Structure 1
């Protein structure tokens, strides 16, 4: 007879210690079992109907709960909390076993305690580990684990937790130790949060959008309406095509403003070993999301701009300009300064949008994981500021000298484009101050561990934490 050789299919394979049991034959149990088998782990499914194995992975052993528990030292409980009752009858069999709770709830704070803690109380002779609840069955089936590779793990038993973390690494996922089982409730709430890091960026974007839209509505549509001029059609293309670039540039500047504030605070304190204010911490943590929302508005601006030549109002205005020149027997002379301004404005916009897209692409997990920290920081910091300069120049050349013309101030309101320049100009001016050699040198020393003591004579221990601008 030939020898059967099992070849591991996943990276990070290690020596296996017995079969892994899975209680539950639903979508997640089947998907996780299939993934474990692909990576060389023998899997035994515990089912109340062991005779019905039509949907289970081929090659998996299917037994009753008691028989499966006897043969496995690690058992993944892939059933919901309300179905844990059958485990009470297995309390003696499960003594010394590792039970991995993968359940989630339908809503946050659905129960007073976490599912994992409830399971530990129900089966006190077993060791409970919370894991795998942040991974979807679809991701396990399709192999699309880039966006959900991280797995939170917690348990009161460090050896059991380490054993499960080894299994997680072996199937291509990244475990993160969250400590003892009291953290299970936080881990179970994590998948139920709807875009937690996107709330502040979206609220900020929505607020700025409403304010800029109302500003344009008053200064353009309502102002002309009181003069008996109907330009209500501006609401469809003209005003949105002003709102999107203005808000986009503001949001891009807001991505870099907290880094400037952080540098100023560290410079003032003379140390990096003190926490930033909570509002600044939250702001800095959502910079990526702010940038992606800004990029989406820049995309909308680009698309709206492309349709300008086919708009009826624009074509009508161009035709009337030609007819007036013919009727007056005049020719509009090509103005070189206006040509330079127009081409410069367009060139800066194109280059700014290009680097905008580069920033957005490098923020994606699949791309950022392929570059080292120095490369990522170069793109997000150096190229980020270059993008901010190009986009700010684009807005400046668009407006040119309109802010100096009284005819452009409707009801004493400056042209809308000037709104977009306030925050970017503040950021760029502060950044220029911070890169002055004497100031930049001091900030660099602080971020390398230097501290200003009351006597100005001592230097602190070196630590690794620093905040990129």
Structure 2
């Protein structure tokens, strides 16, 4: 033996190589914007796509790599069919019942308004093709989102009577990067079809509340400032309606909305302390209030932005420039200047007012940024809670102090109360002051310990319940 090891060389030809597994073929009925966008996204994900069309040779441009066949041929070639046509064009599906037998039909249709049909589109489709498995889902995806928007983490809903069919659609949706939520049987299709028709459901209460507060304080300040000056003093200062009144209304509404963002959490804490448990549901009104806290804060931030922009334009206003020039001319004619406040009271008050306003606005923006999903998702739960709770209450405190310093030397002046009504900034300080006072009570060590125990699962046992437990043990 020579000690050499002989090896055989094996050459792999293309025919000898293992063939790559063929990707699943999916069928789409509908060559409109939604159908083309869905097909393009499926092709990018690695699926093969065939379109079913009544005019296969003249259906317009389709995504590159997709096939187009007649409805019957396309239905026979795939086990999963996406229905991307309007309900009024479903009639042709009844003639395809033999080809669609045992297939999974994904209904993506929506309606123009609620209650337009007596039954859900998916239920109607199931009645037309009774031997197919209809799944309602993906109808919250728009053509634009499929073409351009990132789908990672976007939540979609599914419902259907076949668990296997829903599982097949859920796996496909997960592969597209979507987050799937099963809503049960096909009887939930009506609810799913109404989702795209909702117009900012969680924004309605904050927006209505903000518009109501803005309208109330606008007319309140209009009466106190403009109408009062015209009636009592004979001055026409209606020019202040556009900027001056707006720059008073915006911070008032912003501060009240910010305090309303944190008030439900404080009320929930006191309710848990009163009940001695965290396992009882809050009242419905408190639940709805807590669910729209993010929207309340963002609306408050929007009004704060308006207040900041209006403040920046104050020096370039005609009335302000005219007043400053007239003051300088008067001092030149009299050959004297206004003496500086050497006690620094006015200087300290003005600088503190601006400093608190800038700092409060900075924290406002920080809270708004962490409300974005892309930012909030990168934070841990402790970091998110610290920013939204600790820094949130600090923001409320600073903005409230900003309002108190604005009127620190005006509260006791009789001239401040025109027609015996308090200024708008006094009214807006009531709610945030109450919120901060209640929050301060919750921070007391004895209260904080009890609340922490309750939130960790401890429950207060009523005397009657304890006796019943003892009797049951003895038996």
| TM-score, normalising length: structure 1 | 0.92
Matched position secondary structure for 2:463: coil
Where do residues 14-413 of structure 1 align in structure 2 (5 Å cutoff)?
18-52=24-58, 54-145=60-151, 149-226=154-231, 227-335=233-341, 336-413=344-421
Q: Is the 8 A contact 2:23 2:46 kept in 1?
A: no
Q: Is the 8 A contact 1:97 1:127 kept in 2?
A: yes
Q: Is the 8 A contact 2:269 2:451 kept in 1?
A: yes
Measure the CA separation in 2 of the matches of 1:433 and 1:333: 45
Measure the CA separation in 1 of the matches of 2:19 and 2:86: 33
**Structure 2 gap ranges (5+):** 1-12, 467-475
- Rg: which structure is higher? 2
Q: Is the 8 A contact 1:18 1:73 kept in 2?
A: no
Measure the CA separation in 2 of the matches of 1:106 and 1:313: 51
Please give the per-residue CA displacement for 1:329-365, whole angstroms capped at 9, x wherever unaligned. Answer: 4332222111111111111111111111111111122
Please give the per-residue CA displacement for 1:36-58, whole angstroms capped at 9, x wherever unaligned. Answer: 11011111111111223541111
Measure the CA separation in 1 of the matches of 2:19 and 2:308: 55
Pair 453,17 (structure 1): closer, same or farther in 2 beyond 3 Å: farther
The range that moved more, 51-60 or 338-347, is 51-60
The offset of 1:16, in angstroms, is 8.2
Measure the CA separation in 2 of the matches of 1:330 and 1:457: 82
Measure the CA separation in 1 of the matches of 2:207 and 2:179: 29
Pair 52,373 (structure 1): closer, same or farther in 2 beyond 3 Å: farther
Matched position secondary structure for 1:403: coil
Pair 362,43 (structure 1): closer, same or farther in 2 beyond 3 Å: same
Please give the per-residue CA displacement for 1:189-237, whole angstroms capped at 9, x wherever unaligned. Answer: 0100111111111110011001111111111011100121111111011
The offset of 1:17, in angstroms, is 7.0
Please give the per-residue CA displacement for 1:123-173, whole angstroms capped at 9, x wherever unaligned. Answer: 110111111110100111113447x92111111112211211111111122
Measure the CA separation in 2 of the matches of 1:102 and 1:177: 15
Q: Is the 8 A contact 1:20 1:73 kept in 2?
A: yes
| TM-score, normalising length: structure 2 | 0.91
Matched position secondary structure for 1:154: strand
Matched position secondary structure for 1:449: coil
Matched, 1:453 2:461: yes
The offset of 1:32, in angstroms, is 0.6
Measure the CA separation in 2 of the matches of 1:31 and 1:124: 28
Matched position secondary structure for 2:50: strand
Measure the CA separation in 1 of the matches of 2:324 and 2:198: 52
Measure the CA separation in 2 of the matches of 1:339 and 1:16: 78
Where do residues 425-440 of structure 1 align in structure 2 (5 Å cutoff)?
425-440=433-448
Measure the CA separation in 2 of the matches of 1:42 and 1:118: 28
How many residues are treated as equivalent by the alignment?
450
Measure the CA separation in 2 of the matches of 1:170 and 1:250: 45
The offset of 1:114, in angstroms, is 0.8
Q: Is the 8 A contact 1:219 1:411 kept in 2?
A: yes
Q: Is the 8 A contact 1:250 1:424 kept in 2?
A: yes
Please give the per-residue CA displacement for 1:265-289, whole angstroms capped at 9, x wherever unaligned. Answer: 1111111111111111111111111
The offset of 1:455, in angstroms, is 3.1
